Chains A and B, each alone.
Chain A
Amino acid sequence: DAGVIQSPRHEVTEMGQEVTLRCKPISGHDYLFWYRQTMMRGLELLIYFNNNVPIDDSGMPEDRFSAKMPNASFSTLKIQPSEPRDSAVYFCASSLSAGGLGTQYFGPGTRLTVT
């Protein structure tokens, strides 16, 4: 079975540009999570969806970040405009349920560099 798929794997962009990260969850999973990993802050939950509906976006750092899940098999995380401090690895994860009842499986991550 295919795991969580993320694209691109690496993204280098200039400050001020729009960046779109993509995620395809494991088929049948109805929870999708976006995380950010940095040396300074470790792994942070940005937002998560249940059945395509955003449930908790309190981790989204600011209005420059937005996430959508138009259907059960696709989600995007957009940063507009990007800034150098957004440089990080962004992970998408999916699970059958939330709160520990379902194990979260992670994608390979997108390494974003903003210059």
Chain B
Amino acid sequence: AQKVTQAQTEISVVEKEDVTLDCVYETRDTTYYLFWYKQPPSGELVFLIRRNSFDEQNEISGRYSWNFQKSTSSFNFTITASQVVDSAVYFCALSSPVGSTLGRLYFGRGTQLTVWP
């Protein structure tokens, strides 16, 4: 079964602090995809990144970076020098390109990040 766990329900930091959001996943598939989405207070779900299971290289995009480690089944998300605008709920998700679960995005419960000025 596919499962995504985001153990951190809420995180609060002060502006300019670095913060890491944890994501642990479970799957029996050898090929799968991992995603991060952001849900700001306005409510929409914004796509941030997609990684496939064969690409374990870390990725950096501006202040955002992602650390994918197959050995620990983790896909963690770090925001460097956080800003108030980063305040949002962040969701990690898992998808499989094959089998009976094709098409489904399995979401974690999300981590509410609050960045204080």
Docked-complex contact B105 and A104, CB < 8 angstroms: yes
Docked-complex contact A98 and B102, CB < 8 angstroms: yes
Beyond A42-B110, A108-B43, whether A103 also contacts B103 by CB under 8 A is: no
Q: Which of B57-65, B69-77, B78-86, B91-99 is found at the contact surface with chain A?
A: B91-99
Within 8 A of B (CB), among A34-82: 42-43, 45, 48, 50, 55-56
Tell me the smallest distance from the CB of A60 to a CB of chain B, in Å.
13
CB-nearest residue of chain A to B45: A106
B interface size (C-beta, 8 A): 25
CB-nearest residue of chain B to A105: B47
**Chain B residues within 8 Å of A91, by CB:** 45
Docked-complex contact B32 and A100, CB < 8 angstroms: yes
A interface size (C-beta, 8 A): 24
- Asked if B12 is an interface residue, CB under 8 A from chain A, the answer is no
- Asked if B116 is an interface residue, CB under 8 A from chain A, the answer is no
Tell me the smallest distance from the CB of A23 to a CB of chain B, in Å.
14
Beyond A100-B33, A100-B96, whether A33 also contacts B43 by CB under 8 A is: no
Tell me the smallest distance from the CB of B70 to a CB of chain A, in Å.
15
- Asked if A109 is an interface residue, CB under 8 A from chain B, the answer is yes
**Chain B residues within 8 Å of A2, by CB:** none
**Chain B residues within 8 Å of A33, by CB:** 103, 105
**Chain A residues within 8 Å of B8, by CB:** none
Docked-complex contact B50 and A103, CB < 8 angstroms: yes
**A–B complex contacts, Cβ < 8 Å, 16 sampled:** A42-B108, A42-B109, A45-B104, A48-B104, A55-B103, A56-B103, A93-B45, A99-B33, A99-B98, A100-B32, A100-B96, A101-B33, A101-B97, A104-B105, A107-B44, A109-B43
Taking Cβ atoms with an 8 Å cutoff, the residues of B that contact A are: 32-33, 35, 37, 43-47, 50, 52, 91, 95-98, 101-105, 107-110
A-B pairs with lowest CB-CB distance, top 6: A100-B33, A99-B97, A100-B95, A98-B103, A106-B45, A43-B107
